[in-house]
Structure 1
């Protein structure tokens, strides 16, 4: 009975956060800290910082993984699932509904779509600057980012992205050996190492087997599930980074039009919760409710398996400087991959003349310096695009 009460409390608190947490992953972590650490004292400052550090080392949606980890600490593996469900479900429902509205009323052809494309330019540019500052502070990491940028521009294929990430991780493993004394971790998790090993085995098993099944099978949804799962497995840096990866997976194949894709991305900026729920919109646009739910499962499954798999081993991972070095190299390469995708297709599809550039500059200023809420920026972009289309 006490356990059920704990699960209900996790669900209520996480759902409230899912309905009110605007502003992206960094803002989400601030909301989590206020609710879980200061107000409810579910974990102490050091434990929260350790959990955030782990989420930064792993690919996938950082804020969602922190929420899952807090749920695990409070209520075990099922508590982690309940925490994820409450935080994620509101934006999943909102974006699936938006996909139906977009199809029914043909908003993909409306004049404000150009404005939403320009919003994407401003948002991704802001993300790039923040990531570059934090992830490429020295010449070595800047060089890794340049290598990733040139390679992915010259070879625009998902295999080149995987290759760049692997090479950067290998180089980071040997180059970055940080020698620093850290305090022992204070976190304890109700998950066994055996359970963690099973989760990690499943993660790599899906990552290897899904592309093979996709190539040998003629079933479209296996290929779609593979694309979402791979995006969730390889994205370091949060929801903004997943935009170009998903665009390259679905727009060139014709499963979703570029206009519908960018309309959904604009909508994803305007709703609370994790940006990875953008996948829910794409899935719903392709295959209705079932497609939206399938896409949600596929893109978040890697985050689940990784956070549950690594929590029991986090002590040794955190103390191994070579492992940290590999992640440092990977993070630097991701900056280059994002710049490559920022140019093609985001910039080339949105900025056609000086007026488009002027609107992009205004929206960028609203995000970076005026620090306006995301929904205000999205609405301003839509209005600006509509006005531009009238002339």
Structure 2
């Protein structure tokens, strides 16, 4: 055995008895709230079927939480099967205990430390040879806990039955020797000592017929509990999947909204940029208006081209050599130049063909709205 296993066994030896004592106390405390009649009706009562021989008869008692109750009185000798025929089914399932007169057993009162409360049977076994004229191997014994004696001591009672008397009793009891779950003693007041003097190897353990059904029902209840837990887990998993799908849909929708917002922001930024660029330069209408105002009579334009910041004018004019001076100081452009040489028109009109270029420039902040208003007013005038 390893040191780890030894430590586990020591812990179990220390904790196990305390847990068992607590469970017994807890069960007894709960049963104390239930009336004795209800305990018997529900099968919760720790009852025993007591048999006491009284001369040529056998008295049968039911020992419950309220004390012994008479059941039936039958003639002796009596076989266990004969008793089963006169008992109701519920009484047949009770463990059967033979009652001895208290004078046939040895009783000794002892005081033991409270630490021995969980191992009373083993501790008292070492006191048998000092408290009785027998050794521990010569008696069958049990221990009664009588309460506390103060100063951390327990008051207990040793109840011993010599094995010689046990063998004599077995020969007299006949078939009952192997049909009993225990042997107890009854005093002169009719109170049982609540001990079991029958050796464990000779005790009959009666199987409760309903125990199998109880186990089946317990297993079914456990199975239903497991299935319910699995169903609950599946429901939670389905709910989590539905929530995850909803979150994915919301995320996709949010990504679509974000994408549309980004596109809208790009359009707004582009429009703002174009508006800014357009606000910095004169519009085409403004350029037309300014050219119309500055070009002299008899001047005709064949082409007006705007590319980036360049303005190109091609046309015919009788004052082509003066056009640079006439257009030079316009706020919409600058650096007006003739490109190439003037070419005389072949007709008798006396006009020359010209090509002018200019560089468009941003309008002053205050002049831009005024120029646009002036151009709008010029457009609004009706044609003559």
Q: Establish whether TM, by shorter chain, passes 0.5.
A: no
Q: Return the structure number with greater strand share.
A: 2
TM-score, with structure 1 as normaliser: 0.19
Look at both structures and tell me which one has the larger radius of gyration over its CA atoms. Answer: 2
TM-score by length of 2: 0.20
* Structure number having the greater helix percentage: 1
